[in-house]
Copies of this chain bind each other. A is one copy, B any other.
Amino acid sequence: MLTDVLINGEKKDNLNITDRGIQYGDGLFETIEVSSGRAVFIDRHLDRLQLGCKQLHIPYPGNPILLSEIDLLLEGASNAVLKIQITRGAGGRGYRQPDSVTPTRILSLHSFPKFPDSFTQEGINVTSCKGRLSSNPVLAGIKHTNRLEQVLARAEWVSESIQEGLMSDQQGNVIEGTMSNVFMVKEEKIITPLLDHCGVAGIIRGLILDFCPELGFVAEQQLVTKECLNDADEIFVTNSVIGVWPVRMIDNHRFSIGPVTRQISAYLEQLKNQEIHA
């Protein structure tokens, strides 16, 4: 549930329809866990936002203004989800952007979703989506707001016993979940699909790739076929709100929840707590 919104620093929740975010999905966003009133891994989120803005040629509003607006919005908040959306701002009809772009900042606070503990403890059920991701190296990795593919994929199942849908590229290679990144463990090696032509490079994904060596694991981004995934020892999905969810089932294929997933999940939790109590 949406609890509070700031648009360009103002307490309001309406956007003029000339905004290119409405017209063309012309923007990008971050979804951030708020725990004990702190925006978790905020530096990484702002880094990615800035990188995405650069890739889409949207002027980055800058950390100082975003951080001060986050402070304002999080006042009195404890556990929540913070969404930061940046659009290319107002524009005329037509794809051509105005000569001078003034991006729109939409910061919104949402109640933290109530997930059963079992998702983290016993794992989740995943379905393979029919809908596939399209390839475009220029947009790959960015958390932009052109998300029809994810919306259509998420609409493929209604059963509450399925928690995530696995998406492939047009060639059938595994890329990610509708809302998460996917990791597999095979002989102590940690593998996650390469996101050079599609997919969203999640913050938690990046963090795990970075800290794997500290835990003595080899982590690799590579092409992952469905057969390769089915052959994994362990599988887990990640995002900034769920953290790590082990996968116990993909379609009718069962996986065990193993020690590597547990270790990564615990280490992530530790890093999060360090940041919150810093």
Interface positions of A (Cβ within 8 A of B): 1-2, 5, 7, 13-26, 31, 56-57, 81, 83, 85, 87-88, 92-97, 106, 108, 110, 113, 131-136, 138-139, 144-155, 170, 178-179, 198
Contact = CB atoms under 8 A, between A and B. Distances in A.
Nearest to A108: B17
A166 to B, nearest CB: 14
A100 B47 CA distance: 37
Copies of this subunit: 2
B22 A22 contact: yes
Contact of A138 (B94, B108, B152): B152
A148 to B, nearest CB: 5
Contacts of A1: 92
Contacts of A151: 20, 24, 26, 88, 95, 97
Contacts of A152: 56-57, 138
B16 A16 contact: no
Nearest to A149: B136
B94 A179 contact: yes
Contact of A24 (B2, B18, B31, B147): B147
Interface centre among A148, A150, A154 (most CB of B within 10 A): A148
Contacts of A81: 93
A150 B94 CA distance: 10
Nearest to A133: B136
B13 A17 contact: yes
A187 to B, nearest CB: 34
Given A96-B154, A136-B149, 4 more contacts: A2-B17, A13-B18, A24-B150, A26-B148
Nearest to A81: B93
Given A56-B152, A95-B178, A24 B22 contact: no
Contact of A145 (B15, B16, B23): B23
Contact of A25 (B83, B97, B146): B146
Interface centre among A1, A93, A110 (most CB of B within 10 A): A93
